Copies of this chain bind each other. A is one copy, B any other.
Amino acid sequence: MSANPSALATAPASSRIAPPISASLWLNTPAPLTLDQLRGRVLVLHAFQMLCPGCVSHGLPQAMEIQRTFDPQTITVIGLHSVFEHHDVMTPAALRVFVHEYRLTFPIAVDQPSENRSLPRTMHAYAMQGTPTLVLIDARGRIRAQHFGGVSDLVVGAEIGRLLVERVESPLAV
């Protein structure tokens, strides 16, 4: 279901304050991260599932290239492992192996499972439709773009460029 983007939930919101990340676990970071603490940076939140072909072939390589291209103190990439299917095999232990084998080095949150839904909490709060989903959060903590499925580097680059200008021009607003 996740390889070819298809409908899962409602349409993405825009320009609202990004909901907090509900994580049951963090990898690649000494301590859990919060959006509040990252205010002032442009955030690239990449939601994926380790066994989603489109995430492995396109989404994660794009997230890694964003991480390599920009200054991490300005543009911070965060992975979000949002398992909404096959929960029994995409476990935190399996994710650790995946992260090691694919050499992912950005911080990754394991999206907190819900008690009464298949969708984990952060995925639900962002109204994501599936994986991969790329969310751009500006320096003031607002969702400015949310892409389900593939999105070109040109488009993501242009969006990042916009947020970088705003960040510099409105430092006090941050």
Contacts and interface: CB of A to CB of B under 8 A. Distances in A.
Nearest to A92: B89
A173 interface: no
A169 B170 CA distance: 13
A56 interface: yes
A9 to B, nearest CB: 19
Contacts of A70: 158
Contacts of A155: 69, 157
A152 interface: yes
B3 A101 contact: yes
Contacts of A57: 57
* Chain A facing B: main interface SS: helix
Interface in A95-117: 97-98, 101-103
Given A51-B101, A86-B97, A153 B162 contact: no
Contacts of A133: none
Nearest to A93: B89
B98 A51 contact: yes
Contact of A160 (B89, B98, B157): B157
A169 B166 CA distance: 10
A2 interface: yes
Given A153-B153, A160-B161, 4 more contacts: A53-B101, A56-B56, A65-B154, A155-B157
Interface of A: 2-3, 51-53, 56-57, 65-66, 69-70, 86, 88-91, 93-94, 97-98, 101-103, 152-166, 169
6 A-B pairs with least C-beta separation: A157-B157, A161-B161, A153-B153, A158-B161, A89-B94, A154-B157
